[in-house]
């Protein structure tokens, strides 16, 4: 166990790209999504390497990107939930208005999430290439 932990900190291997060939879980990016510098550890796995202060910012932006991805799922769920409430409102004006408000808020949340994720991706890629 101790050897495994210590091998994470032994950066004696060759340079590699930790994002290359990694599978995402339901499309959610990894925390090291924008870090393209890495080294091979003792087991031959490519692990991210923190070399500069900007690497910490890249990790923070990747975490924000993950949270925005989850917020996008919540926004889409809100639209579906509002549609369900609209279908089951039975024509009652107050329930119909609440359902439309839920749909509208979900769509606004989705648009804000898409714009924010685009800005975060742009900033992270600009910082990663600098």
Q: What are the tens digits of pLDDT across the range 52-80?
A: 777 888 888 889 999 999 999 999 999 99
Q: 31, exposed or middle or buried, with CB in 10 Å at 0-12, 13-18, 19+?
A: middle
9/49 Cα distance (integer angstroms): 9
pLDDT at 43 over 70: yes
pTM of the model: 0.72
Q: Which pLDDT belongs to residue 119?
A: 95
The end-to-end CA distance of the chain, in Å, is 37
The domain ranges of the chain are 2-129
Instruction: Check whether 110 has a pLDDT greater than 80.
Output: yes
pLDDT value at residue 21: 66
């Amino acid at each position: 166990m101790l050897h495994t932990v210590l091998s994470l900190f032994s950066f004696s291997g060759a340079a590699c790209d930790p994002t290359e060939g990694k599978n995402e879980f339901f499309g959610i990016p990894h925390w090291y999504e924008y870090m393209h510098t890495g080294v091979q550890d003792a087991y031959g796995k490519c692990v991210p390497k923190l070399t500069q202060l900007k690497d910490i910012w890249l990790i923070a932006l990747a975490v924000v990107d993950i949270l925005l991805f989850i917020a996008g799922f919540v926004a889409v769920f809100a639209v579906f939930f509002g549609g369900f409430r609209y279908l089951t409102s039975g024509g009652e004006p107050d329930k119909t208005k609440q359902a439309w408000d839920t749909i509208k808020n979900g769509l606004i949340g989705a648009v804000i999430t898409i714009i924010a994720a685009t800005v975060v991706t742009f900033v992270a890629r600009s910082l990663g290439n600098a």
